[in-house]
């Protein structure tokens, strides 16, 4: 945890900071209430450990400030002047515990570790409860495969911390969904989530977008402008496509992450930031480092906790559930009833390699919903999918020709906007032959229509 210790007794303050630091916590000691107030107003802490009697701002006022700004913060009071009134008031404000002085360091360490485990359990419960209260998990990643289950578990573990997270995976796998899931499951979940695509902003503008600028920094800068690190406040900054960040800007980002300070363009006065940083990339950063395109020190600073997302072709058992979810979402948006996927259409979806991953699947299903003229989606509504890339004997001429024939038929059907009768005429075959070659069952005729 990130812990703020407030105590005017120097020996105890330093000893407690050392003991908790050795236990793995990030400790910030303060000697006065005013100093602590200033830090609480600018930074985020997981635990505030404070004496009641302090120079300047008193301990109870610090508790009120911390409780209002950081609702999930653990508040622990220490005092040598214990009284029933002060204890009741501290608990009313939201203090989790009340320790009389002198405080034994080992007892303090155990107490803090207990609340650390308690805080992590609450965050994980919140994450899992969200998964039960909605149709899909808080990450938005649908599926029951081992890979998706592992991702959910990793999010639940890292969300309660302030650790920097690197999300890796191919384009269209859902990296931003994972970033949102981390943010929502964290104590920062009600605070801003600010995203920037490092590859979509020109190099000359990206620095100002991230760190802000001061008036007069360059032509057109007629006023001070905060960057995204400031706008995020105590929330989360999501650096999407971090592999596209210009090499010249990478040292500035590294310095910001290491010092937790930023410099607006044109300024010499550093500003502290408290936002959490989550980054994502579809690039192989290891190869980029070897090619001199990405800094190794920045990579190690970003890759504190990695969450890899496998491509859709490696978790085909999730396609059925993903397709059902996407169809429901698409139909809700276009105000249409949800069509049923025919078995042959679902088989085609599960056999395709999906180079564009879930994003490509969503696009194909949206087109199918638009093209569908009835309550079902068959192969005719999803033309153009390649034949199965895996499992077909490459040397079997009959099988290969069959795949080519099927793909051609689907393309012709698409050309005639799904009209299979016209497609059959253009192909020079009967309608029943077209259905047979596609492995479909002809739709029953409408009332009054000749079969």
Band (pLDDT 50/70/90 cuts) for residue 4 is: very high
Extents of the domains making up the chain: 2-119, 134-310, 313-438
Residue 140 has a pLDDT of 64
* Nearest of 30, 40, 39 to residue 10 by alpha carbon: 30
φ and ψ at 75, to 5 degrees? -110, 120
Give the whole-angstrom CA distance, residue 137 versus residue 311. Answer: 19
Residue reference for tokens 């801003």 = 192
**Cα–chain center distance at 105:** 38
Is the pLDDT at 381 greater than 70, yes or no?
Answer: yes
235 close to 190: Cβ distance less than 8 angstroms: no
Q: How many other CB atoms sit within 10 Å of the CB of residue 160?
A: 22
Single pTM value for the model: 0.59
Tell me the average pLDDT across 97-114.
Answer: 83
Fold of the CATH domain 313-438: Helicase, Ruva Protein; domain 3 (1.10.8)
Of 110 and 167, more confident: 167
Is the pLDDT at 387 greater than 50, yes or no?
Answer: no
Q: Which of 127-131, 221-225, 249-253, 394-398 has the highest mean pLDDT?
A: 249-253
Tell me the average pLDDT across 309-338.
Answer: 88
111 close to 78: Cβ distance less than 8 angstroms: no
State the Cα angle at 318 between 317 and 320, rounded to 5°.
Answer: 90
Fold of the CATH domain 2-119: Rossmann fold (3.40.50)
Query: What share of the chain in percent tops pLDDT 90?
Result: 28
* Nearest of 67, 119, 118 to residue 93 by alpha carbon: 67
Tens digits of residue pLDDT in 209-260: 899 888 877 777 778 888 899 988 889 999 999 999 999 999 999 999 999 9
265 close to 207: Cβ distance less than 8 angstroms: yes
Q: Do domains 2-119 and 134-310 have the same CATH topology?
A: yes
CATH architecture of 134-310: 3-Layer(aba) Sandwich (3.40)
Q: How many other CB atoms sit within 10 Å of the CB of residue 370?
A: 12
């Amino acid at each position: 945890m990130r812990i703020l210790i407030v105590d005017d007794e120097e020996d105890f303050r330093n000893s407690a900071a050392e003991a908790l630091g050795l236990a793995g916590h990030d400790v910030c000691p303060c000697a006065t209430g005013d100093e602590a107030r200033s830090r609480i107003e600018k930074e985020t802490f997981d635990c505030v450990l404070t004496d009641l009697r302090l120079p300047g701002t008193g301990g109870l006022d610090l508790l009120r400030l911390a409780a209002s700004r950081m609702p999930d913060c653990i508040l622990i009071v220490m005092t040598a002047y214990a009284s029933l009134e002060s204890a009741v008031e501290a608990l009313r404000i939201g203090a989790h515990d009340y320790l009389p002085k002198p405080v034994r360091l080992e007892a303090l360490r155990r107490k803090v570790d207990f609340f650390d485990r308690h805080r992590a359990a609450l965050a994980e419960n919140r994450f899992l409860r969200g998964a039960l209260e909605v149709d899909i998990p808080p990450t938005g990643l649908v599926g029951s495969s081992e890979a998706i289950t592992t991702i959910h578990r990793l999010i639940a573990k890292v969300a309660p911390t302030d650790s920097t997270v690197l999300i890796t995976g191919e384009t269209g796998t859902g990296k931003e969904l994972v970033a949102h899931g981390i943010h929502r499951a964290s104590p920062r979940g009600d605070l801003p989530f600010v995203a920037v695509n490092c590859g979509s902003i020109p190099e000359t503008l990206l620095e100002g977008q991230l760190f802000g600028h001061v008036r007069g920094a360059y032509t057109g800068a007629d006023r001070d402008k905060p960057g995204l690190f400031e706008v995020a406040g105590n929330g989360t900054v999501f650096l999407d496509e971090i592999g596209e960040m210009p090499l010249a800007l990478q040292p500035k980002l590294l310095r910001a992450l290491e010092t937790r300070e930023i410099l607006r363009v044109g300024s010499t006065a550093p500003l502290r930031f408290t936002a959490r940083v989550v980054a994502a990339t579809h690039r192989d950063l290891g190869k980029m480092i070897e090619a001199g395109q990405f800094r190794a020190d920045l990579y190690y600073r970003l890759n504190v906790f990695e969450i890899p997302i496998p491509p859709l072709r490696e978790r085909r058992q999730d396609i059925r559930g993903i397709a059902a979810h996407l169809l429901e979402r698409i139909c809700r948006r276009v105000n249409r009833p949800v069509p049923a996927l025919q078995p042959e259409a679902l088989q085609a979806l599960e056999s395709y390699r999906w180079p564009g991953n879930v994003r490509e699947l969503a696009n194909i299903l949206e087109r199918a919903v638009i093209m569908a003229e009835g309550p079902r989606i068959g192969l005719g509504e999803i033309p153009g999918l390649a034949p199965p890339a895996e499992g077909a004997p490459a040397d079997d001429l009959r099988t290969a020709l069959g795949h080519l024939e099927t793909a051609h038929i689907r393309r012709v059907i698409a050309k005639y906007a799904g009209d299979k009768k016209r497609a059959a005429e253009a192909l020079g075959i009967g309608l029943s032959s077209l259905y047979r070659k596609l492995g479909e069952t002809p739709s029953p005729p409408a009332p009054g229509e000749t079969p």
